Structure 1
Amino acid sequence: MRELLIYQSKGEGELFQKQSPEQLMPVDSGAEISVVDLDDNLTYQQMDGFGASFTDSAAYLIHQVLDAEQQAEVMTKLFDPQDGIGLSVLRNPMGASDYARTLYSYNDLPEQETDPELIRFSVAHDEGDIIPLLQQALKLNPAIKLFASPWSAPGWMKTNGSMKAGQLKKEHYGTYANYFVRYIQAYADKGLPIYAVTPQNEPLYEPAHYPSMLMQPEVQIDFIKKHLKPAFIAHQLETKILSYDHNWDRPDYPLTVLEQANEEVDGVAWHWYGGKPSAQSEVFEAFAGKEVHFTEGSGGEWIPPFEQAFSNVMRTGIEILNNHSKSFILWNMALDEHNGPTVPGFGTSTCRGIVQVNQQTRKLVYTLDYYALAHFSKIIRPQAVRIASAAGNEVIRSVAFKNTDQSIAAVLFNDSGKAENIAVKLQGTEVLTFRLEAKSALSILISDSVE
């Protein structure tokens, strides 16, 4: 007997509502029906999952501002696969990012001092808020995979002596590789295995108002090939290395890195602040077998109206998955009522967190990003394999996966300005017909119950 689990979002106030087939709008009789064909004979990437980042700011808000009861609630709703949405990938900054209360690395020194042996290396900062929350998340969902990316090397390793802007000094390439090793080992000692790292967050962007470090492709090739990968091998680390970690508009960067450091690189990480998701497929097709990951995308006040903002996450998320990504990771897990905290000197923040924690009132609000991620994460589980999903009408965006329990998960989004009649078919057999309102999302989990 076939069972259907359905969640629908129709707008503000009606987000990710569980529905029965009978509660869905019936199709208009005699009206044209858009068919969405699902075919599990055609398979693509295996999914790692969906998530966000425990930046210093996000971890502080959840761990220190919320009370124990609120913290337990939000962690359950974020990570528990049954009682929450089961987020299963986390990408953490290695040291301070733009969303941190202070500027810090894991090896901060007074001016003019250096520490090539990393004697003063310590992840003590993360033991306050970040590590306890990561440990709690893994207890709630042992399938979680951890990614890590630095916004900058410690200032003393750089050309300008600062964590803001500048480049890595050539003489410190080996030291910086060992910095990664020490970080991975320190986290492993806390029961937190790091699945993958990128050498640098947004290597082509060098802002002077928050931690950053310019890393051109030839530098990344040299660093990975001659230092980072050899250091991982020497210390028997299985952590994967992902190239790039920047926007879709420069596929030439990862293509160059993969051409020259193919053996040392496991895949490519992407952001959505420029270009199109098809760049992921362009690089994947040139280097089949390399992993594709989407590691950062933030919503915010630059997309102010609710509908446009929700539509952006749904539409883009579906495209990201249809272009071979094994992950879909948004940005801050939590921000406050001022879209912060941010590093001193950052200025005005317009980003949006998965949840909002008001520092004055301690009120906890689940944002539209939480509900958009829920449409994917609740039904597409770790190790699910993407299957073919073809919609007869281009305004109906769709993506589908087959979970390890053989259930089929499909996410649909009506990207038109009017309601559309839809029929979902699996291997040619009709599963469900309904009418989906404009800019509405629907997630369906199709399973066959054992009699």
Structure 2
Amino acid sequence: MKTLKYCFLIGLSIMMYNCKEKQKELVVEVYETSATGNKLTRVTDFQVADSIATIKLLPNNKYQTITGFGGAFTESSAYLLNKLSKKNRDTILKAYFAKDGARYSLTRTHMNSCDFSLTNYSYTPVEGDINLEHFTIQEDKDDLIPMIKDAMAVSEDGFKIFASPWSAAPWMKDNNKWVGGKLLPKYYDTWALFFSKYVDAYKEEGIEIWGFTVENEPHGNGNNWESMHFSPKEMTDFVQFHLGPKLEADGKGDKIILGYDQNRAGLKEWVDEMFRDEASSKYFHGTAIHWYESTYDYMPEALQYAHAKAPNKYLIETEGCVDSEIPVWQDDAWYWKKEATDWGWDWAPEHQKHLHPKYAPVNRYATDIIGCLNNWVDGWVDWNMVLDRQGGPNWFENWCVAPVIVDPDADEVYFTPLYYVMAHFSKYIRPGAAVIGLENSDKSLMVTAATNPDGSTAVVIFNETETPRKINLTLNEKTVEISIGAKALQTIVIPN
């Protein structure tokens, strides 16, 4: 009898030990995109790896709150969707916005035309119409508005949309041209009214505008396509004395205003001016940035400075893409190779050439988004959602790459690896998530993490090396051992 009792106690102890050990194991779901062919693929069998990285999550160290991830509605993308079969059009919209797709939550569009329009156009076609009595968004009704409304119908969660002007109509500018020049001071009030009218016009179409950037690329773009120049002081004065008060007076004071909207190297002088005092800061809700300053440097010092200057304001990456490239069609391997070049490869001044080496598009996206999240950026928006095999249409022939490339004549669709890179973030790090701290023993891996409003945690790891890594991941004293392949991006989801 004593022997039986003893055996029972031993068995009970073993069960309790095993149970305790199980409780210590972290339950995770792992999704991977890799050079070997995974495309946001659920991974359950992990590679053998000699090298071990230890990643410890620090959920009590909370940083910025996520606004969202997504891409831009452009006339070019909308036009191409309208040329595809209904099946392919629906497939693309669901891939971007549906619950089982990328779940885009933050989007952009253009006011008046931009380079990714079919031609130059304005909502204010009548010269001297200072009260904008002839304001019309008719140009957007064939392609752009239907794309936005169809995306809204697909999205269960909804998404924010902000709008950016590339230029006022030439008649409002000192050079009377689409390209370059400045807004004439006598039209500052008219231009502020333009934003208010736009909100009303889109609302009539059933589209709620969340906010604006004041001007796309106020430094200009080398005088190539639609642009309108502002100095930091000119933009700040326009917002403080015209745009902000106008939106407020028209009952639109809740609309978000983001200043700057160009490359990160210029951040310091812009945020210093935008947030120069309480009166100017009142109307700026945050800062918009682009990534075209470098193919590899995400400029953490500039991002840190912008956050420190306005710690309670938005800091959103509003545009980034593989520029100055004709898309490579149906060749996933190219997107993982360091063969792409950007505008700076040919055109950057000599003292800036080092910022523009050849790069792998997947690497650029993954490292920039993770680098941004680890330096206070709360939203990241890609450029065109859809382009054709030429990298257009673009009236200036400024060819670029989009995550989804289509051949409208053959009615074919190519989801490039860039689509899956974007989905690693947009699908699993949701609006309202808090970026959290972590300790990472392997500096060759880039890692970021966020806790979602539903209590789940998403960890994104990028391994651009040729060597797989074993990962020891710990959260709240629970641990799991997994691995990440060579040249791979993983999102690890830890349920609540």
1:439 deviates by: 2.3
Deviation sequence 1:173-223 (CA, Å, 0-9, x none): 000000000001111222222112011001012433311111111110110
Q: Which consecutive unaligned segments of at least 5 residues does structure 1 have? A: none
- Answer yes or no: is 1:310 the counterpart of 2:327: no
Contact 2:49/2:468 (CA < 8 Å) preserved in 1?
A: no
- Answer yes or no: is 1:364 the counterpart of 2:413: yes
> Which residue number in structure 2 is paired with residue 90 of structure 1?
107
> Which residue number in structure 1 is paired with residue 7 of structure 2?
none
Provide the C-alpha distance between the structure 2 equivalents of 1:255 and 1:367, rounded to a whole number of angstroms: 39
Q: TM-score, normalised by structure 1?
A: 0.92
1:419 deviates by: 2.1
> Which residue number in structure 2 is paired with residue 294 of structure 1?
317
Contact 2:265/2:299 (CA < 8 Å) preserved in 1?
A: no
- Answer yes or no: is 1:262 the counterpart of 2:276: no
Contact 1:166/1:206 (CA < 8 Å) preserved in 2?
A: no
Provide the C-alpha distance between the structure 2 equivalents of 1:412 and 1:406, rounded to a whole number of angstroms: 20
Task: Describe the shift of the 1:38–1:203 C-alpha distance in structure 2 as closer, same or farther (beyond 3 A).
Answer: same
Deviation sequence 1:317-365 (CA, Å, 0-9, x none): 101111112211111111001000001xx1351x111211113212111
> Which residue number in structure 1 is paired with residue 130 of structure 2?
116
Of 78, 85, 89 in structure 2, the residue corresponding to residue 67 of structure 1 is 85
Provide the C-alpha distance between the structure 1 equivalents of 2:403 and 2:165, rounded to a whole number of angstroms: 21
Provide the C-alpha distance between the structure 2 equivalents of 1:217 and 1:51, rounded to a whole number of angstroms: 27
> Which residue number in structure 2 is paired with residue 247 of structure 1?
263
Of all paired residues, the percent bearing the same amino acid is 30
Provide the C-alpha distance between the structure 2 equivalents of 1:11 and 1:214, rounded to a whole number of angstroms: 41
Q: What CA RMSD, in Å, does the superposition of the two structures yield over aligned residues?
A: 1.7
Amino acid across the alignment from 1:321: L
> Which residue number in structure 1 is paired with residue 350 of structure 2?
none
> Which residue number in structure 1 is paired with residue 393 of structure 2?
341
> Which residue number in structure 2 is paired with residue 282 of structure 1?
305
Q: Which protein has the larger Cα radius of gyration, Structure 1 or Structure 2?
A: 2
Deviation sequence 1:63-110 (CA, Å, 0-9, x none): x111111111111111012x211011111011111111010111123x
The structure 1 segments of at least 4 consecutive aligned residues displaced by more than 6 Å after TM superposition are none
Of 25, 37, 46 in structure 1, the residue corresponding to residue 47 of structure 2 is 25
Question: 3-state SS of the aligned residue for 2:266?
Answer: coil
Question: 3-state SS of the aligned residue for 1:74?
Answer: helix
Instruction: Choose 400-409 or 383-392, whichever is displaced more.
Output: 383-392
Provide the C-alpha distance between the structure 2 equivalents of 1:175 and 1:241, rounded to a whole number of angstroms: 17
Contact 2:445/2:463 (CA < 8 Å) preserved in 1?
A: yes
1:241 deviates by: 0.6
- Answer yes or no: is 1:49 the counterpart of 2:68: yes
> Which residue number in structure 2 is paired with residue 76 of structure 1?
94
Question: 3-state SS of the aligned residue for 2:376?
Answer: coil
Amino acid across the alignment from 2:250: H
Contact 1:187/1:194 (CA < 8 Å) preserved in 2?
A: yes
> Which residue number in structure 2 is paired with residue 13 of structure 1?
37
1:118-197 aligned within 5 A: 118-141=132-155, 142-197=157-212
Amino acid across the alignment from 1:250: G
Provide the C-alpha distance between the structure 1 equivalents of 2:483 and 2:112, rounded to a whole number of angstroms: 48
Contact 1:299/1:369 (CA < 8 Å) preserved in 2?
A: no
Provide the C-alpha distance between the structure 2 equivalents of 1:24 and 1:153, rounded to a whole number of angstroms: 55
Provide the C-alpha distance between the structure 2 equivalents of 1:233 and 1:12, rounded to a whole number of angstroms: 53
Contact 2:450/2:459 (CA < 8 Å) preserved in 1?
A: yes
Amino acid across the alignment from 1:387: I
Provide the C-alpha distance between the structure 2 equivalents of 1:348 and 1:263, rounded to a whole number of angstroms: 37
Contact 1:164/1:207 (CA < 8 Å) preserved in 2?
A: no
Contact 1:148/1:194 (CA < 8 Å) preserved in 2?
A: yes
- Answer yes or no: is 1:437 the counterpart of 2:437: no
Provide the C-alpha distance between the structure 1 equivalents of 2:217 and 2:140, rounded to a whole number of angstroms: 22
Provide the C-alpha distance between the structure 2 equivalents of 1:240 and 1:300, rounded to a whole number of angstroms: 28
Contact 1:277/1:323 (CA < 8 Å) preserved in 2?
A: no
